[in-house]
Every structure is written in structure tokens, then in C-alpha cells.
Structure 1
Amino acid sequence: MSLKLAIVGGGSTYTPELIDGFARLRDTLPIGELVLIDPAAERLELIGGLARRIFARQSHDAVVTTTSDVAAGVAGADAVLLQLRVGGQAARNEDETWPLECGCVGQETTGAGGLAKALRTVPVVLDIAEQVRRASPDAWIVDFTNPVGIVTRALQTAGHKAVGLCNVAIGFQRRFAAHLGVAPELIRLDHVGLNHLTWERGVTLLDAPGSDSGREVLPELLTSYGPQIADDLLLPLPVIRRLGVVPSYYLRYFYQHDLVVEELKVKGSRAAAVAAIEQELLTMYADPTLDTKPALLGKRGGAFYSEAAVQLIASLLGTDGGTSVQVVNTRNDGILPFLPDDAVIEVPAAVDADGVRPLAQRPVEPLYAGLIAAVTAYEQLALDAALRGGRDRVFDALLAHPLVGQLELADRLTDRLLAHNREHLGWA
């Protein structure tokens, strides 16, 4: 089997991470053709050239092509990966800056900044998905574009064959495996929540890869490696040990919101740092002798995404020979009974050529279920605002968000959001 994959947003400086994974894991995912799609022609050629050199170094014979034409690029594709950023790092910098003026966290996937990104992104992604549906109706769409939960919900609501992917779970899997000195394939997570709003309620050390038997090791991890885990999350160790779970890093925006706001006011936006890294990476990518991903790329973010993407696509396309359990973003359909069926949740799922089937979950504790339900309501309102526009819908979404939730604050944030995003919002 020889597959055709397309990456929309292929001109991203992050794409070489994916290429490296495709090259190393070719036995799992046999790619014959890879198409990089992006409107930024100059960046696209740099990334395309490096991709060819990485494949050549690994003696991988995949053909790499580049185009700005989405319909042509996705034609005949078996899977299409979405990793685009409407407005680029400049828009991200604004998302991370103007909310701070109102005393709110500035972040690209949650709060007011996350809503701005959703409003810009959802219409563009749906247009791309329609082109995929016309050109390759059987292709899987794998979304890595933030905010993943809202974007995936938009895709699935519109009837697309789509699943969302995030690297938080695989990052925990790899770190826990390293602590225990075992292969990552032996670690299975009891991971529950929404994209960027998840908790590890258990960690199973499997008897063998793919086994259904093993032993619970989360208490051991918290006892022996609690300080390292707390440092990774920038959360107080006593709180983590008292809860007995490992929250994702993004829970810090909820659990320590005001502290994070003060920190961000001092150190500035993550977008500014990423923009500087990107410029340095582009200079490196232009070197015709470079044929590996540079170490600097590790500071760009998205660790282990290539491995997660390869695992997911291989299972969906049936090249890994069976059913695997992977953490994905997919339709709820009663798995978390306190949420609507069409909500998108992030949980372990059985994945194979027949699709994605989220696994049954034990009841979610009220401390987590309440926040999950509140953010789900916000995401529903955010999607409605992205699809239909209107100041009132933007205001409603902000008022529903647990990090906002006040009339005057939601009003000020709405004005700033619209002022900073008019060029991207046709209705504003």
C-alpha cells in the first residue's frame, strides 16, 4: 500500500517535525506522495526542499510536492492534516495581548484570545473541508488546528469525516514512561475532558503493548516523581497530590488565573518568542545541506505530534494491522452523559479502519465535570458565533466562559476582540 497525504498549512515551520516522523516510521505509515499546501509560496518552497532532503537522508522514496491550490493538493488524498493559523503569529500575538488589558489571561486556545482564534479559523477550515469532500470524499481529515475541540466540532457537525488530535496525552505518556524506565507503548492513560482541559485520573502500566491487563501506577508516579510533574505543570505539588490526578498544563489558566495574568504582563506573549524562533528556523531551512530537523525546532512546541499523527493515521487507514487505543478529540455520543451528544470530548478511543469509537468512561468527579460542562457550553456558543457572526453571539460566548463570566468584562472583551479581528471577520 502506498498512501497520499496532504498537509494544509504545510508551510509551517513545524512541518519538518511531521516529516521526520513520516520518514522514521515509514513501516507503520507507507507514504508514497506527500503534498504540502500553503498560500505562503516562499516558506512553502523552503519547507518542501527540507522535506525532500529529510526523506532522502532516510532513503525514503516518497514524492514531495507543493502547491497553494487546496483542491488540487488534496485530490486523491487518503488523509488530510490541518495545521493552519489564520492571521499568522501576528494575530496570535494580539490574542495573547489585548485580553491582558482587561485583566484576563491572554492565550491562543482559551479565554477571549481562544475565542478570537476560533472565530477566524472555523469558516476557513470548513471551506477547506468542503474542498476535501469534493476532491477526496473518502479522505480522513485530521485536525491539529487550535482550538482543536471547537474546530473538530465544527467539522463533525458539518458531516465531515474528521477527528481532532492534540499532543498533550502523548506528552504525558512519554514523560510517565521515562520516569518509570519503560517503553511508551506500555503506558495507557485514563485521560478525560475536553481539548486543553483534561486530567489524567489513572496511569496503567500494561503487561505488554496492546494488552488489556496491567497495574495502576499513578500513585507511584505522584509519590516518586511528584516534584518533577509539578514543575512541568507549574502547579503546586501539594494540590496535585491532594487531588490524586495530573491536570494538563492548561488547567493552570483556570486554577491560577490571576497569577498567570500577572506573569504574562511581565514576560510578554508566547507568540513573540515563537516568531523569533520561526525566523531562525527559516534561516536554517534555507541551508541546502540541512537534512534533519534542527534541535531548535523542539522549542517551537508540539512535542511528539509526529508520532501521534502517524499512529492515528495508520490506524484509520488500516496500515498498522489492527485496532489501537489512542487519545483523540471526537464526538461524545453519551460517553460523558452530562454533555450533549454532539460535544467533542478528548478521551481514549478504539481506532481502526472502521473509524473512531470513544471508550466508556467511569463517572467524572464533580470537581472536573462542572468545569467540563461549563467550557462545553462556551464552546457551543463559540461555534455558533463562528458560524453565524454577530456581536451578541460573541458576547454570549464570553459571558459563558469560566475565565470571563461578568457582564462588564464580557462587554469590554467583545469590543476589543472585534476591533482586533475585523479584517478576518466578514460580518464585523
Structure 2
Amino acid sequence: MIYADNKVTDVKIAYIGGGSHGWAWTFMTDLARESAISGTIRLYDIDMEAAKNNECIAKRLFRRDDVVGKWDFTTVGSLQEALTGADFVLISILPGTFEEMQSDVHYPERYGIYQSVGDTSGPGGLLRALRTIPMYVEIANAIKKYSKDAWVINYTNPMTLCVKTLYHVFPEIKAFGCCHEVFGTQKILRNICELTTGIKGIERNEIFVNVLGINHFTWFDQASYKGIDLFPIYRKFIEESFEEGYHDPDRNWANGTFNCAHRVKFDLFQKFGLIAAAGDRHLAEFLPGDWYLKDPETVKSWKFALTTVEQRKVTQKERNERAVRLMNGEEDIELKPTGEEGIMLIKALCGLGRVVSNVNIPNTNGQIPNLPNTAVVETNAVFERNSIKPVVSGRLPEGIRDLIMPHVEDHEMILEAALTCDFELALKAFTSDPLVKGKLSEADARELLTAMIRNTIKYLPEGFKKYI
């Protein structure tokens, strides 16, 4: 990297999963709007054609007159090519295909187990982790070999286990996980504040929060806007609107399976006194199945949805069609703010400012003192030149800690099970997950896990084949 005139040039970024039709386009948009850093993006993907398509889309974008960023994009054929000399590494991959996800999310429904996302916890989260962890072992080893000093940003789910694997393989790695679920809860607090106080024009990042928890099961124990404590405002809004919920005008729960009315958040606030800071679809999966995911009717009563894999396939088809239009010049990427902070964090790490944001990193500095230091936790951290300093967020209330600890313990078992191809250990984690615990007999649990492993065996290590 070259520093001059408050700009950083010749930044080298390796993008693993560079054929993405989600994060990659978001990343391009943010790069196009930023003039303080420039350099080269190396796109690597096992689907090389998808990466080349993104290279074409990016080159069209960066030739536009309204683009201020200056970046070259190139597709490479190996991790070594992507990583050698990289300053930053982005990882955004889909472990497996939607066929594997179909099994992850919907096969357990045959046994009365419902999942609203299926990529982080529950049966789906476990199977996705078993596929993902071996991939991350390979990635971590390659980073250690070819770019050991690079900053590594993970966007892949299951976030916690992806980050945990990177540190397990390469303890000195400079990796962190980024997730926008906290941003969504800040926006809700902003909107409720505007509705109830009459203040207009509040920016999302003006809502100051203390973040503590694990990814997709995060909490705020403090939230304020310019000295205004938002907890009383939030509490009063819930008292008045609990049954109706909060309806985001842009994301009404009735108009899409990715949306919600935030009634799960409201209920958790009434139960525990802290603000749950993730989407209701994610939050529900960390809790006992009879709370919010007992059956489709219960889900509907809480005003969120079971996001089907068929819906994801429809979305992917639409993105594939859009990719063709973008490549052919029939459509342009709109240069509007994406709401993501990846570029801000990269700038801060390059020395262009100081940023406080929520990240997923190991609890080795005791950010949450009453969770194990081996856990990967989500808290705020301070980003400055070549430095991330995690914020000590404080202790979790015991009631919330009791909900989080089974998942922390499961993460340890799932990581070891994936690394050693240990079916019995995977089964132990499977049956102790709150969505499964007490719901199945031992025989049914074994039968279900065996079937799910069989359905995704193409993406699992050889050691699991003996169990099917």
C-alpha cells in the first residue's frame, strides 16, 4: 500500500467467493463511491465463470463517469494467486448449493422441527457448519502460507464457526466477522425514536449502542441518541404496540419471508429487559422450539416467516438474470449507500480515520467476562490503523447467558466433530441444540442426523461416509 495526500493507493484485496451475486455487488457499490482508497481486487471462486462475470460487471461500473473509486478487477484461478501479497482478504461463500440447503432447512420439518433461516444454529446450522469448516481449514492454511499479515473479513454463515475455525487453524490470523443484523436494530430504534419524539433526520450510526452476545443472538444493554436514553422510549412503544408490532414501511412482514414485525424482539425485551439486536427469524432459532417455532401457525402469530429455500432459489434466479443485464449494459448498478461498513473498516485499518463497529472475534480479551475466552463473541471494537481493539462490553445477565451457553458449548463440539469426522460428537451437539432438545427420541435424532449427512455428503470429508 502507498500513502500520500490522505489517500491510500495500491491496496490489494483478495475476494474469496468473488462470483457472489450478493455481497460482491454490494462491495463494488461501496468501492465505487469511495475515492480515498484504490487498488486491485482479485476475484477467486470455485465457479470461475461467475467470478469472470463479476469482473466484467465491475469493469463496466468503474468506467462510468459518476464513479469516483479507482479499482482494477481481475479473476484468478487459485487461492495462491488471490492471496499472495494481499493486504485484505474478504470471504463470502455459499458452502454447498441450494439443494443441500433444502435438506438443512426443510428435512427436519418431517420430524416437527421448524427453522426460519437454517444457516447458523439448529439442525441446518450444524450441517452447514460441517460443510463449511473443512473449507475454512483450507482457506486459513492458505492465508497462513501466502498472506499471513493480511486483515481477513468474513461474511459467511455460520459466522461464529467460520471465525472460530480461522483462529483454530491459524491463531495469529488477523480476522474478524462482519454482520449487519445490529445495524437493522439500530434503524428500528432510530425509527421508533423519530415516531415518538418528533425528531427527524436521525442517522442510524447516531444510535449509540453497547453490543454483547454471539452472532445472530446479540443484545444491547445500552442505547442512546444524543444523550437520550432509548430504553424508556422502546419500553413504552412495546407496551403500546406489542400485539401489532413495528412495521417497517420498507419491509412489512406480510410482504416477504425475510421480513418481520419485530414481535419476537419485543417479547424478549419484556422477558429479559435487554434489546435483542438481530432479526426475529434469527433470534427465534436460538431459543427452545416451543417459544416461537413450534409450528407454522405459531410463527405466523409472531408475525415473521419460515423463509423457504424455494424462495431463495427464486431470488437467486432473479440475481442470475440481473447479472446478464449488468454484463450486457442493459442495467446499471445504482450508486446509493448500501448501509454496510466494510469499506469504512478497511479505510480505518489503512489509517484513514477511526471507527467503532460491531465485530465477531474471539473473547480472548474478556469482552464479555462471563463467557469463556474460547468463545467467538460479537461486541463493539475500535478500528484504527492496523489495529482492532475490542471493547469490553460487560457481563451478560444470567438469564441471557443461560440461553447463550448451550450454543457456545455446541460450537466447541461442532468444530471438533467437523475436524475429526466424529458422528457421535456431532449427534451430541445436534441433540443439545434448543430447537431439537427434548423434541426427538435418541433413535429419531440419530436417524434424522444420518439422513441429513447423507443429503449433503458430496460436500463433507470422506470420514463421514462410513456413517451413511
Same fold (TM over 0.5): yes
Q: Structure 1 residues 239 and 402 mapped into 2: Cα distance closer, same or farther (>3 Å)?
A: closer
Q: Is 1:21 aligned to residue 41 of structure 2?
A: no
Unaligned runs of 5+ in 1: 207-213
C-alpha deviation, 1:343, in angstroms: 0.8
After superposing the two structures, state which structure 1 stretch, 223-232 or 272-281, moved more: 223-232
Q: Is 1:109 aligned to residue 96 of structure 2?
A: no
What is the alpha-carbon distance in structure 2 between the residues aligned to residue 10 and residue 83 of structure 1?
A: 8
Q: Is 1:36 aligned to residue 43 of structure 2?
A: yes
C-alpha deviation, 1:395, in angstroms: 0.8
Unaligned runs of 5+ in 2: 1-7, 195-200, 249-259
Residue 209 of structure 1 corresponds to none
- The CA deviation string for residues 162-210 of structure 1, in whole angstroms up to 9 with x for no partner, is 111111112222343344331223122222110111122221224xxxx
Tell me which of 337, 358, 365 is aligned to 2:397: 365
Q: Which amino acid in the other structure matches residue 378 of structure 1?
A: D
Do 1:17 and 1:293's aligned partners in 2 also have CA atoms closer than 8 Å?
A: no
Tell me which of 346, 349, 354 is aligned to 1:313: 346
What is the alpha-carbon distance in structure 1 between the residues aligned to residue 205 and residue 144 of structure 2?
A: 34
After superposing the two structures, state which structure 1 stretch, 269-278 or 175-184, moved more: 175-184
C-alpha deviation, 1:354, in angstroms: 4.3
Compute the TM-score of the two structures, normalised by the length of structure 2: 0.80
What is the alpha-carbon distance in structure 2 between the residues aligned to residue 347 and residue 268 of structure 1?
A: 28
Q: Is 1:272 aligned to residue 310 of structure 2?
A: yes
C-alpha deviation, 1:361, in angstroms: 2.4
SS at match of 1:32: strand
Where do 1:29-428 residues align within 5 Å?
Answer: 30-57=37-64, 58-106=67-115, 107-158=118-169, 159=171, 160-179=173-192, 180=194, 181-206=201-226, 214-224=227-237, 227-228=245-246, 231-235=260-264, 237=266, 240-241=269-270, 243-247=272-276, 248=278, 249=280, 250-255=282-287, 257-258=289-290, 259-260=292-293, 262-263=295-296, 269-287=307-325, 288-290=328-330, 292-293=332-333, 304=338, 307-318=340-351, 320-322=352-354, 324-333=355-364, 334-406=366-438, 408=442, 409-425=444-460, 426-428=462-464
Q: Which amino acid in the other structure matches residue 246 of structure 1?
A: I
C-alpha deviation, 1:105, in angstroms: 2.7
What is the alpha-carbon distance in structure 1 between the residues aligned to residue 262 and residue 31 of structure 2?
A: 29
| Higher normalized contact order (CA 8 Å, seq sep 6+, divided by chain length) | 1
What is the alpha-carbon distance in structure 1 between the residues aligned to residue 136 and residue 121 of structure 2?
A: 18
Q: Structure 1 residues 308 and 88 mapped into 2: Cα distance closer, same or farther (>3 Å)?
A: farther
C-alpha deviation, 1:84, in angstroms: 0.7
SS at match of 1:427: helix
C-alpha deviation, 1:346, in angstroms: 0.6
- Larger helix fraction of residues: 1
Do 1:74 and 1:136's aligned partners in 2 also have CA atoms closer than 8 Å?
A: yes
- Count residues in correspondence: 410
Do 1:70 and 1:131's aligned partners in 2 also have CA atoms closer than 8 Å?
A: yes
C-alpha deviation, 1:33, in angstroms: 0.8
Name the Cα RMSD after superposition: 2.7
- The CA deviation string for residues 6-29 of structure 1, in whole angstroms up to 9 with x for no partner, is 2111111101111111212343xx
Identity of aligned residues (%): 24
Do 1:102 and 1:412's aligned partners in 2 also have CA atoms closer than 8 Å?
A: no
Do 2:287 and 2:434's aligned partners in 1 also have CA atoms closer than 8 Å?
A: no
Do 2:104 and 2:128's aligned partners in 1 also have CA atoms closer than 8 Å?
A: yes
SS at match of 2:383: strand
SS at match of 1:340: coil
After superposing the two structures, state which structure 1 stretch, 250-259 or 76-85, moved more: 250-259
What is the alpha-carbon distance in structure 1 between the residues aligned to residue 38 and residue 56 of structure 2?
A: 17
Do 1:350 and 1:358's aligned partners in 2 also have CA atoms closer than 8 Å?
A: yes
What is the alpha-carbon distance in structure 2 between the residues aligned to residue 330 and residue 23 of structure 1?
A: 28
- The CA deviation string for residues 259-291 of structure 1, in whole angstroms up to 9 with x for no partner, is 535229998753221221111222122122156
After superposing the two structures, state which structure 1 stretch, 38-47 or 118-127, moved more: 38-47
Do 1:192 and 1:346's aligned partners in 2 also have CA atoms closer than 8 Å?
A: yes
C-alpha deviation, 1:356, in angstroms: 2.5
Q: Is 1:7 aligned to residue 42 of structure 2?
A: no
SS at match of 2:70: coil
C-alpha deviation, 1:42, in angstroms: 2.5
What is the alpha-carbon distance in structure 2 between the residues aligned to residue 270 and residue 78 of structure 1?
A: 38
